[in-house]
Amino acid sequence: MTTIKEQNELRDKIIKGLEKSYVKMIEFKKQKNSVIVVMRDDKIVKLKP
């Protein structure tokens, strides 16, 4: 069994990894001049970085 402290540490690591991935994706999209596709209010939206 994992403790609450271990679970919180793992969650923090996962969140940091996701944030890092997001930053890298934005940089890549800017470099390639392509759009970012996201979903907002049940609609698909294309954004320019």
The band of 49, judged by pLDDT with boundaries at 50, 70 and 90, is confident
pLDDT in tens, 4-19: 999 999 999 999 999 9
Q: What pLDDT shows up at residue 30?
A: 95
What are the phi and psi torsion angles at 43 (to 5°)?
-125, 145
Percent of the chain scored above 70 by pLDDT? 98
| CB neighbour list of residue 2: distance below 8 Å, 6 or more residues apart | 10
- pLDDT for 2 equals 80
Closest C-alpha to 49, from 22, 25, 21, 30: 30
CA distance 14 to 7: 11
pLDDT digits (tens, 9 = 90+) for 12-38: 999 999 999 999 999 999 999 999 999
Q: What whole-number distance in Å separates Cα of residue 1 and Cα of residue 43? A: 41
